[in-house]
Amino acid sequence: MIYNLFRTSSNLHFWFITFSLFVIMLGTNVPIPLFSLYQQQLDLSPGMVTFIFGIYALTIIPTSLVAGQLSDHVGRKKILILGLVMSLIGTVCFAFAESIFTILLSRFFQGLSVGLFNGVAVATMIETHPTQDKTFCAFVSSIAMSVGNALGPIFAGVVAESFMQSTRIPYFIHFVLLVPCLIGLVTINESIKEKSPGRFYIPSIPTEIRSSFYLASFTSILVWAVIGLFLTVLPTYLFTFTGTKSIIVSGLIVFLALGSSTIAQLTLRKLSLSTFTVTLTGIISALLCLTGLAILNWVISLPVLIVCTILAGLGHGPAFVGSLSLINEIAPEKVRGNVISLFYAMSYLGVSGPLLGLGWSAQWIGLFPAVNLFLSIIAILLVVIIRFWMIYSNNTKPVAIMESSPHFKK
């Protein structure tokens, strides 16, 4: 009877996929506050910690570019199930991780999961929604991912602290959440009727929009690099900056960063601001965040770190949405999917590339000098990006972000 209910209710299928998307994103952020414990147990170096997070992002990039095309050939349902199975494997590996190799393998499977699931899930949500409302589906998927990202660290921190700093219990709970998701996905109907027989191809950017595409993409890379600092280095070495080793505080720091980004995105939905104004607001917030982090080198203060954390989120949300809005404005209809896929792939470089460089630098010159170098380079590049956005704004007609982005239409 329950099986038939799943099979006949497309609306229920829609919410099953939404919940699965939330749970997968929740799981990918569970390890973040726990790395302070892994560092103590396995003697992880700063370079190894950032390398682990870099592996995650670098796995997502090629997987996400292939997953959409693969789902056209074999069907959405199979790719969604495969992505969720990868999440299950990653969670189990993390629950029993006792070596650096196991942690690397766990993060690799989590990267595969996100790369396989996210883009295909959004497409399937549109196809299974009763009215196929693209605007509503895009907004719901964005919120599911944002809330999952924000709750993952604080959930892991609270659970681990409650169970005597256990690094296993959060993963056991996440595993329990994944099981009904898998059952629901197995029972849904395939959402595409005719599967594409075409060959795989490499997404490309039309010549006429390349300069605007690179402007949006590099902006996204930089703001992801800023918030990536909170996802890796600061939670792991929180006690270095503030004198506290609390896992809950570590999770709260990441929650504040991602939560502030989510709130900023929700707030922008209510305002009719130009793409330039929204993006510039985000970039300036990111610059203020970097300034505050530089102050922490001389003033060890938890309140200052919290302010920087909120500024990181307020910078990430508007700047990322503004960049995505520009992509939506310039992308030709026939290649919109390819352009957006490449934009997301480049955005993940902001999580992997700079942080890998930070970890490598920390091995040679120490953590604090490496962080200072990181802050300086990103700040300079943000100032340069502001100049290019001003040039772009002077040469184009301002468009309200609510009118241009599918995430923020009225």
CB 82 within 8 Å of CB 370: no
The dihedral of CA 18, 261, 155, 98: what is its sign? positive
> Length of the chain in residues, anyone?
410
Helix then strand then coil, in percent of the chain rounded to 5, is: 80, 0, 15
Instruction: Report the alpha-carbon distance of residue 332 to residue 198 in Å, rounded.
Output: 21
CB 233 within 8 Å of CB 49: yes
- Quick one: tokens of 310? 């909120």
User: Highest mean pLDDT range out of 80-89, 221-230, 369-378?
Assistant: 80-89
- Kindly give, in sequence order, each residue whose CB lies less than 8 Å from that of residue 145, ignoring residues fewer than 6 positions away: 21, 22, 25, 118
* DSSP category for residue 208: G
**Mean pLDDT along residues 263-268:** 79
Phi, psi dihedral angles at 406 (to 5 degrees): -65, -20
| 193 or 6, which is more confident | 193
Q: What percent of the chain has pLDDT over 70?
A: 81
Q: How far is CA 58 from CA 85, 107, 124, 253, in A?
A: 19, 11, 24, 24
Helix/strand/coil for 193: coil
CB 152 within 8 Å of CB 32: yes
Residue 392 has pLDDT above 80, yes or no: yes
- Quick one: tokens of 321? 């949405």
Instruction: Report the alpha-carbon distance of residue 261 to residue 319 in Å, rounded.
Output: 10
pLDDT of residue 177: 95
Instruction: Report the alpha-carbon distance of residue 53 to residue 228 in Å, rounded.
Output: 9
Instruction: Report the alpha-carbon distance of residue 317 to residue 263 in Å, rounded.
Output: 8
* DSSP category for residue 274: B
For 59-115, what is each residue's pLDDT tens digit? 888 888 787 777 777 778 888 999 999 999 999 999 998 888 999 999 999 999 988
Residue 409 has pLDDT above 50, yes or no: no
Residue 267 has pLDDT above 50, yes or no: yes
- Kindly give, in sequence order, each residue whose CB lies less than 8 Å from that of residue 211, ignoring residues fewer than 6 positions away: none
CB 406 within 8 Å of CB 135: yes
**Mean pLDDT along residues 125-144:** 72
pLDDT of residue 229: 77
Residue 385 has pLDDT above 90, yes or no: yes
Nearest to 220 by CA among 315, 152, 292: 315
Residue 52 has pLDDT above 70, yes or no: yes
CB 118 within 8 Å of CB 21: yes
For 169-215, what is each residue's pLDDT tens digit? 999 999 999 999 998 888 877 766 655 556 666 667 788 888 889 99
- Quick one: tokens of 35? 């790395």
- Kindly give, in sequence order, each residue whose CB lies less than 8 Å from that of residue 78, ignoring residues fewer than 6 positions away: 71
Q: How far is CA 63 from CA 148, 187, 368, in A?
A: 20, 25, 34
Helix/strand/coil for 378: helix
Please tell me the least confidently modeled range out of 235-244, 265-274, 304-313, 395-404. 395-404
Instruction: Report the alpha-carbon distance of residue 78 to residue 120 in Å, rounded.
Output: 10
Q: Which residues pair with 274 in a beta bridge?
A: 400
Distance of alpha carbon 243 from the chain centroid: 28
Q: Rounded mean pLDDT of the chain?
A: 79
